Amino acid sequence: MKTNLSFIKTARDKIQLLNQKLLPHKQEYVTCVNGGDVAAAIKEMVVRGAPAIGISAAYGMYLTAWEASKKNKKITLDLLKKQKQQLDAARPTAVNLMWATQEMLSVAAAFFAKEAAAAPGANPSKVKEGPLKLLLALYEKALEIHNDDAERCLAMANNAVKYLVTKYPKEKYNILTHCNTGSLATGGIGTALGAIRLLAEKGKINMVYADETRPYMQGSRLTVFELQKEKIPVTLTIDSQAGYLMQKKLIDAVFVGADRVAANGDVANKIGTYSLSVLAKAHRIPFFVVAPKSTFDNKIENGDKIVVEERPAQEVLEIAGRVIAPKVPVVNYSFDVTPHTNITAIFSEDDTLE
């Protein structure tokens, strides 16, 4: 199953990221030529969605090495470690980001170790020979992370659909989703939205209800945009209306993505997800999370340990640069944590966790 949408264009000397803050009105790209550019794009939410952030960061690590090489500077492990730190700090809650940069750093570390073994006594943190080989290895790893995500999306979506139609059989479903988890957020058809697309392909979707999702309206601007392009029935709903839709029996299941899954199954995702889980549980509606293994963080025991990002007050006080509220203190968490006890099942490319 292919998609006509992509958040990224790649080349050997740059990447271009579709500026998702301008969608659906404008389709403009932000050019990144080094890891610092990519970190800024991630922090400013030009690119968002956990898998997409990880993919972008992988290319960012490569571009830092590429830029150093073009400027005739030595590529060092310290250089790449510093770049990893900058990228990781851009969105601290999304573990895909740290996973991808670590994958890239591991490729570089293995290369440096091989160089050191071939030249005893040489400084193992610097490339003495073969910088082009290192660049090629980094580029190929970034491509691998990018391309593999498409396969992961399809696998986890299939797992989710199979579970839903088996455990909760119905001719057609009304699905509620939150934020954006489609092609704009991943390297493939999407996570939660990927499952919805597969359901639609099988003729199993009656209606998708898309939360608008504050503060950047990723649901109204991006999810509705994607579903319309795929000709999947979609109705936009305000975030605070979910409970009433459930009360009116308009929702059969909730599908969301994840930015981090703790060892016990607690899930960090876009702010508003926890509220949906509480409402779904109260109305006995299945609540599903669809996320790749790269989102699982077994180093964190539970959701209490997850660092939750706080965003600038401006994102709430303004919309598209226009002030909509008095200047007062703002609380603006970008994510919340849903306890595993509120989740019916988590689908990855490998497993279904109940």
Q: Which residues are catalytic?
A: 259
Strand order across the beta sheet in which 296-297 lies: 296-297, 260-262, 267-270, 335-338
Letter string b/e over residues 108-137, b meaning 16 or more CB atoms within 10 A of that residue's CB: bbebbeebbeeeeeeebbebeeebeebbeb
Beta bridge partners of 354: none
DSSP letters for 109-167: HHHHHHHHHHSTTS-TTB--S-HHHHHHHHHHHHHHHHHHHHHHHHHHHHHHHHHHHHH
d(CA 324, CA 236): 21
